[in-house]
Amino acid sequence: MFRNQFIPKRMEKMDELLKKFPDLSRDSLIPILQATQDEFGYLSEESLKKIASTLKLPASKIYGLSTFYNQFRFVRPGKFHIRVCHGTACHMNEAGQILKEIEKVLGIHDGETSRDGLFSLEVLSCIGACGQAPVISINGKYYDRLTKVKLKAVLQSCKNLEDV
C-alpha cells in the first residue's frame, strides 16, 4: 500500500522522461534505460513495464537485456553508494580483501542495498586509476590507496554523517 502511493508520481516522471526521446525505436532502448536509471537510481518493475509498453516490446525482453549489462541495477541504491574498483592493479593491491571487508562489515554483496537503506555496493571492472590502487568511490568521491584501517574510518565517517 505504502509502495503504491509513489507509483503514479514516478509514472509522471517516466512520461516526461520518455518525451525527451522523439525516436522511440529499439535504438533508443539503452539510452532510455540509462536515463531512467539516472533519474531514479535503479530500474523498477513499473518503469520497465512502462518502457516496454511505450516501445511496444515485451517486458521480458527488456528485463533480459538490462540484466545482461553491468550498468543496470534493480534495487534502490543506498544513501551511500559504494563502488569498488576490481581491476588488475587494484586486485594486486588487495582490492579483494577490501571488498571482502566491506561485504563483512555491511553485510551486502555486489548489486545489493543494506536493509537500513544506507549503503549499496557495486563492483566495477576498472575505473582506470591504476596508479592509485586500490580505489573505491562513495557517491562520486574517490578514496585512493585504501587499507583496511583507512576503509574502516571512511565507512565510519559515512555512518557519522547519517547520525548528524
Partner 1 sequence: MEQSLVNNEIDTSLLEIAQLDSLEYSGSMLRQLEYLRRDKLSRPLIIVSMGTEAIVAGAEESLATISKYTDERNFDAEIIHTSCIGISNAEPIVCIQLPGRTRLYFSNITEERVVSLLDDVIHKNIPADLCLGQLRNENQEGYKDIPFLDEIGFLKDQKRIILKNIGITDPRSIEDYIARGGYRSFIKTIKNFTSEEICEIVESSGLRGRSGSGYLTGKKWKIAGHTPSDQKYLICNAEESDPGAFMDRAIMEGDPHLLIEGMAIAAYGIAATKGIIYIRTEYHQSIKMLENAILRAQEIGLLGYNILGSGFNFDISIKKGPGAFVCGEETALINSLEGKRGMPQSKPPFPATSGFHRKPTIINNVETLSNVPVIIGKGPKWYNTIGVEGNKGTKIFAISGSIKNPGLIEVPFGVTMKSMLFDIAGGSANGKAFKGIHLGGPSGSVIPPELLDTALTFESLKSIGAGLGSGGIIAMDEDVCILDIVKYFMDFMQKQSCGKCIPCREGTRRMSEILESISRKPIDETGHTTLERFKGVMQLESLAGVMKDTSLCGLGQSAPNPVLSTLKYFREEYEEHIFDRKCRSNRCTELRTYYIDIELCTGCSACVKKCPTEAIFGTPRHPYFVVEDKCTGCGLCYESCKFSAIYYK
Q: Which of 4, 5, 25, 160 binds partner 1 (CB under 8 A)?
A: 25
Residue 87 engages partner 1 in binding (rule: CB under 8 A): yes
Q: Which three cell numbers stand for residue 125?
A: 571492472
Residue 81 engages partner 1 in binding (rule: CB under 8 A): no
Residue 151 CB, nearest distance to partner 1 (Å)? 14
Segment contacting partner 1 (CB under 8 A): 10-18, 25-33, 42-50, 150-158?
A: 25-33
Distance of CA 101 to the CA centre of its chain: 19
Residue 48 CB, nearest distance to partner 1 (Å)? 14
Contact 64, 48 (CB under 8 A): no
Residue 125 CB, nearest distance to partner 1 (Å)? 5
Q: Which of 7, 11, 52, 65 binds partner 1 (CB under 8 A)?
A: 65
Q: Which three cell numbers stand for residue 91?
A: 586486485
What sign results for the dihedral spanned by CA atoms 50, 115, 111, 158?
A: positive
Cis amide linkage into residue 134, ω under 30° from 0: yes
